Structures are given as C-alpha cells and as structure tokens.
Amino acid sequence: MSGFVVGGSIHVFFAQISHIMSISVPKRNGAGYLYYRIYDLLEYSSEIHLPTVTFSISAIIFLIFGKEILAPWLADAIIVITATKFAEIPERYEVNVVGDIPTLQYCVAVHITVAKIVERRYNYKICYRQDYLACFHPFPVYPVTSGFARSVIGAAVGGSTQLTTLFSVLTLLSVILYIGPALAYLPRLIWLMSMMFTICFDVGEGLALAVAFAVLTTIINGKYIYDELISRGIKIFFVALSSNLIKMFDATNFHETIPRNVIIEHLDDVYNL
C-alpha cells in the first residue's frame, strides 16, 4: 500500500506543479495521463512566470524549516501575511493569488482541496455548501473524513455516495483479519512495482496491477522453490496455523500449484506423516 501511496503522490505533484509555474495546461485524465501532463508542462514551459516560481520555491523551503524553528507559530500564516500585506508581492510582481479568503472557515481548506482534485480529474460536480453546513452543527468539531488515498481510489472505482465507506470498512477489516497475515512478508520488489504501476498508468489501474503482480509473484516463487526442493529429494510441507488460510488456499486454487496433501493445519501433524 505504501508503494501505491508514493505513486499517487507523484500524480499530485504533477497536478499542482502547473500552479507553481503559473501556467495553464489542458486537463488530462485516464490511464497514462501523466505522460501527457509532463508533455504539456514542457510545451508550455516558455510561459513560466519566474517571480511566481521563485516565490513558490522560497515558500516551500521556508515551510520545511520554519515549522521546526518557529513552532508553535504558524509558518503558513506568516508567509501569507508577509507576502500579501507587507511585501505586496502580488501587486509588484503580478503573482496570482486565490483572492479574499472567508474568515472562520479555514478548517475546510484541506477537505475541499482534496475534493477539488477529484472534481477536476473526473468532471464531477461537488456541492461545497454541504461542507460549510457541517461547520455549524451543535458539536464543537468538524467531521473531516477526506484523505488522499481514500478519495482518489473511491473516485477511480466510481464511488459517489457514502455507501462506498461501508464497503471500504469491510475490505479493510478483511485485510486486517485474514489477508494481511498471508501477505506479511512480501518482497520489496512488489513495493517498487506498485509505485511504478501507479505512476505509469493511473490510480485505479495501478492498484489493480499491483495486487495482480503481488499474487502472481507469490505463487510463481512458491512453485519454483517447491519444485527445486522436491527435485533434491527434500520433503516440503506447508503449515497453515489458521483454518482460514486453508480456505483461502482452496478459494485461490493454490492447491493446483502446491498439492493439497502437503498443506497441514498443525505443526505436530508432520511427525504423523
């Protein structure tokens, strides 16, 4: 999963880099759209606004180190106030700004930012008034539930209602209880391929290909090692300490690669064979 998240962060980087350069590029979506986005950035590179790039890089560096040095002061607020109120950077260097920001509604900024990424990529209309209404409920909290991985995956598979959360929870529960222990020792190659699939294709296709690659490499490697040891006259047995693993082996036709009679449920059963 971490490889998939790293690949997704690459998509976010190239989705936002045009704003740092202050250039307008065509909207792209679908498998392999990242290649077109890079091509568009190179094609429109002559329109880069250097003051915007300089200020953006300086702001990023300040945020990286400023949060450690200036804590608990808000480094974000210091940049915004200094650049717009005192230095007057937008007026002097024609740097585009977001405009007037409504007060007392900053808590929805991150949530709406994630929503706008989905809105632009999939031409999906989002009603922001519904999020503003959540700020005025009687409880002293704001129920932000957005996250990059959840939102992008949900949009990629066509989820558009709160019912998708139910299936996400059930899937996560099955991974924690059943699938996770079986995939606890996946090699680093699978992490790398998960990241590369996500970068080269798209979020939805990358996740599907990563899962398929993980399953295939696990089965193929298991078959190769099993055949190699059998050819040397070494007896091999697989101990499944949980009956759920036995069911999973049967459901995935694992016994077609590894004979069913060498998969036992208890370690002590080896001495009785």
Give tens-digit pLDDT for 199-236.
Answer: 787 777 777 777 777 777 766 666 666 666 566 665 65
Taking Cα atoms as reference points, which of 127, 26, 21 lies closest to residue 13? Answer: 21
Q: Hey, is 263 helix, strand or coil?
A: strand
Residue 248 has pLDDT above 70, yes or no: no
Considering only residues 266 and 58, tell me which one the structure prediction assigns the higher pLDDT: 58
Spans of all domains in the chain: 2-49+95-220
Least confident of 38-52, 94-108, 215-229, 242-256: 242-256
pLDDT value of position 16:
80
Mean pLDDT to the nearest integer, 189-198: 77
For residue 5, name the pLDDT band (cuts at 50, 70, 90).
confident
Distances from the Cα of 208 to the Cα of 4, 12, 157, 219, 242, angstroms: 10, 19, 11, 17, 27
State the angle between helix axes of 2-21 and 203-231 in degrees (0 to 180), rounded to the nearest 10: 150
pTM (whole model) above 0.75: no
CA–CA distance, 57 with 144 (Å, rounded to integer): 29
DSSP H helices, the chain, are 2-21, 33-43, 50-69, 75-81, 89-93, 109-122, 128-134, 148-156, 163-174, 180-182, 188-200, 203-231, 243-251
Share of the chain above pLDDT 90, in %: 0
Residue 243 has pLDDT above 60, yes or no: no
- Mean pLDDT taken over the chain: 71
Share of the chain above pLDDT 70, in %: 57
pLDDT value of position 66:
77
Considering only residues 168 and 235, tell me which one the structure prediction assigns the higher pLDDT: 168
Contacts of 66 (CB under 8 A, 6+ apart): 75, 78
Q: How many CB atoms lie within 10 A of CB 20?
A: 17
Contacts of 93-97 spanning 24+ positions with Cβ under 8 A: 93/51, 93/52, 93/55, 94/49, 94/51, 95/22, 95/49, 95/51, 95/52, 95/55, 96/22, 96/52
For residue 57, name the pLDDT band (cuts at 50, 70, 90).
confident
CA–CA distance, 106 with 159 (Å, rounded to integer): 27
Mean pLDDT to the nearest integer, 258-271: 60
Contacts of 245 (CB under 8 A, 6+ apart): 181, 182
pLDDT value of position 224:
63
Mean pLDDT to the nearest integer, 159-187: 72
